[in-house]
Amino acid sequence: MEQVVDFLNKGQRDPRLNEILYPYADNKKANDIVSRYEPNKSYANKGHLSVDGLYRYLMSDENSVVDPVKFDLSDDMTQPLSNYFINSSHNTYLTGHQFTGRASVEIYRQALLAGCRCVELDCWDGSNENEPIITHGYTMC
DSSP state of 22: S
Residue 59 has pLDDT above 70, yes or no: yes
Percent of the chain predicted with pLDDT > 90: 30
pLDDT recorded at residue 73: 65
pLDDT recorded at residue 127: 76
Return d(Cα 97, Cα 79) in angstroms, integer. Answer: 36
Ranges assigned E (strand) in the chain: 123-125, 132-134
Residues β-bridged to residue 125? 132
Residue 101 has pLDDT above 80, yes or no: no
Please name the residues in contact with 62: beta carbons below 8 A apart, sequence gap of 6 or more: 33
Return d(Cα 117, Cα 36) in angstroms, integer. Answer: 32
pLDDT recorded at residue 61: 85
The most confident of the ranges 3-17, 77-91, 93-107 is 3-17
Please name the residues in contact with 1: beta carbons below 8 A apart, sequence gap of 6 or more: 27, 30, 31, 34, 47
Binned at pLDDT 50, 70 and 90, residue 52 comes out as very high
- Active site residue ranges: 90, 136
Residue 141 has pLDDT above 60, yes or no: no
Binned at pLDDT 50, 70 and 90, residue 72 comes out as confident
pLDDT recorded at residue 139: 60
Binned at pLDDT 50, 70 and 90, residue 35 comes out as very high
Taking alpha carbons only, the member of 29, 25, 21, 28 closest to residue 12 is 25
Rounded to two decimals, the pTM is 0.51
User: Within its chain, how far is the Cα of 94 from the centroid?
Assistant: 20
